[in-house]
A and B are shown apart, each in its own frame.
Chain A
């Protein structure tokens, strides 16, 4: 048994996560002594923790560019480009999540310090998920990511629909982790180890007890478990109700953070542990991607409630990232596909948080005011808000000059490269393009409603929300117009084998 020595634990490499998790625990204690009226202090302290973790991440990225990937905590975690880039996305979405919630919670009278500490715990769970190199860490990170989200979606708990949202999310989450654990059990039986790098040897015939058939069935069950978390089609039924019932800042953070965390696990498990059986899971993921894109976009057309529409749109966007995952099974396309998927998650995070920020601005205190009709005439009463919303809708559709367009272009470029020898990926790419065209219909309906209908579109943009809106709008525009630096970073986001 290789006893890990002190430097193989190397805490320095995983400093961002340690800072965030430690700060979350500390903040839980500090929050006890903050009086209910001044809970926004907890929020700003949480932002401080995120900034500290971000700075540590910056140093770690510089160190990574010099010395390459390194494994931390024995061989349980690995700190590579993929992990660092995604940790940046998680920190950004957590920061914007706090800004969204800062004014929303007091207005709806559900302001409690625990909101911010739970948000920090979820983010640390996601960061650990990005650097997991062992199936145990993947499972525990998934739980550390999901438990706070169950509580957060039930945060407005005397209100019934928030409790129901939390209940449905909880039951489906527990059901999914049941599948995930059984999948890991069979993979462990087939491969003799839960280390991702160990599993890949067993599938090729090495390892203590090679049993590839069992490992493949285990892999299928893991796909089901992670499919629930990412809300891919056959496992997406919970998404609309939960997204509508949960408080809007939680929905915004959940649609971005939990999804990116799920994809981090999906990419890491399937590209590191199961490359040898690429053709089996490649076909399955391609089919799931096609179904997800079709259903997500088609059903979204008939939605009048903007929160439900954004829920179905988040399902559809999961489909686009799944296309990149399916394309990533070809070794020569893998670097491009992985960086395309990761970049897409960044653009989707920024755009979706911006769109939800505007929904929060429009949402009245009793939760109404989020229908499409409520956007009527917004251009006249709040021109800046209208421009920002139009930019977000363009980005979600994938029309230039928005970040979404670059993201989709990058993903489809990878898919086209992968489909040179594989007709299935080709059809999936075509479906992807067609569904993006369909999505234009329900996305552009809102700018039309804002500019060409008259109405008294009223919205109250409080300070913190304004900052979040400005940041997301600027980021969506910048990522669309000058994506080069970010693309460069995404290209370095490569997966490496741990240990």
Chain B
């Protein structure tokens, strides 16, 4: 029975931190709430026998991506964030839409057919002992998923080109640069 209790605690922490991120006025607090959420999910990965993914989640997601978010928030000093939504009718419509989405997914998740044939996790059989370990992930990745692997290589190259194009400005300065860009360059 300890599993359900641990699951309940972690699920509660995850949901609360997600709501915290949603409602916090300070961008830095929102980022830290998201880090807590990522940590909870990393522990879930550990529990679902995906240890390698848990480590990747911590190093890549919480480690690199959230650091970048905090970096940008600090860089832009944009941490005082107004909570009020822009148009009056926008908020209720959005909430209604989200509740409908939630209702559908929960309805389905609780429906008998789904519950019936959802396979519950059996204890890991001896021959699949290395399930989720880096070897297992590596073997599957480099045997069956070769094409996606190469596409990720291309994606990272494109991301690098995109970053350089968007931030480095190497054109000949002529009249076309709008004055506020020059102003901000002088100020930065």
Contact = CB atoms under 8 A, between A and B. Distances in A.
Contacts of A111: 171
Contact of B162 (A1, A2, A151): A151
A374 interface: no
Interface stretch (A69-77, A276-284, A412-420, A452-460): A69-77
Interface SS majority for chain A: helix
B158 A144 contact: yes
Interface in B133-151: 140, 143-148, 150-151
A118 B158 contact: yes
B187 interface: no
Given A21-B154, A108-B176, A210-B117, A148 B147 contact: no
A118 B161 contact: yes
Contact of A211 (B104, B114, B159): B114
A108 B175 CA distance: 11
A492 B122 CA distance: 48
A137 interface: yes
Contact of A36 (B161, B172, B178): B172
B72 interface: no
A174 to B, nearest CB: 13
Contacts of A217: 104-105, 108
A4 interface: yes
Interface string A427-461: 00000000000000000000000000000000000
Given A36-B172, A108-B176, A150-B162, A76 B147 contact: yes
Contacts of A25: 154, 157
Interface residues of A, number: 52
Interface stretch (A153-161, A341-349, A462-470): A153-161
Which of B140, B147, B152, B169 neighbours the largest number of chain A CB atoms within 10 Å of its CB?
Answer: B147
Which of B105, B151, B155, B171 neighbours the largest number of chain A CB atoms within 10 Å of its CB?
Answer: B151
B176 A109 contact: yes
A209 B113 CA distance: 12
A134 B166 CA distance: 32
Given A3-B143, A213-B113, A144 B151 contact: yes
Contacts of A140: 148, 151-152, 155
B162 A109 contact: no
A204 interface: no
A121 B151 CA distance: 10
Contacts of A209: 117-119
A63 interface: no
A1 B152 CA distance: 23
A97 B124 CA distance: 54
B165 interface: yes
B118 A147 contact: no
A217 B170 CA distance: 48
Contacts of A402: none
Given A36-B170, A211-B117, A213-B108, A144 B162 contact: no
A1 B157 contact: no
Given A1-B143, A109-B174, A214-B108, 18 more contacts: A1-B144, A9-B146, A28-B157, A76-B147, A109-B176, A118-B161, A124-B154, A125-B154, A134-B148, A147-B155, A151-B165, A159-B176, A160-B178, A211-B114, A211-B117, A213-B111, A214-B114, A365-B176
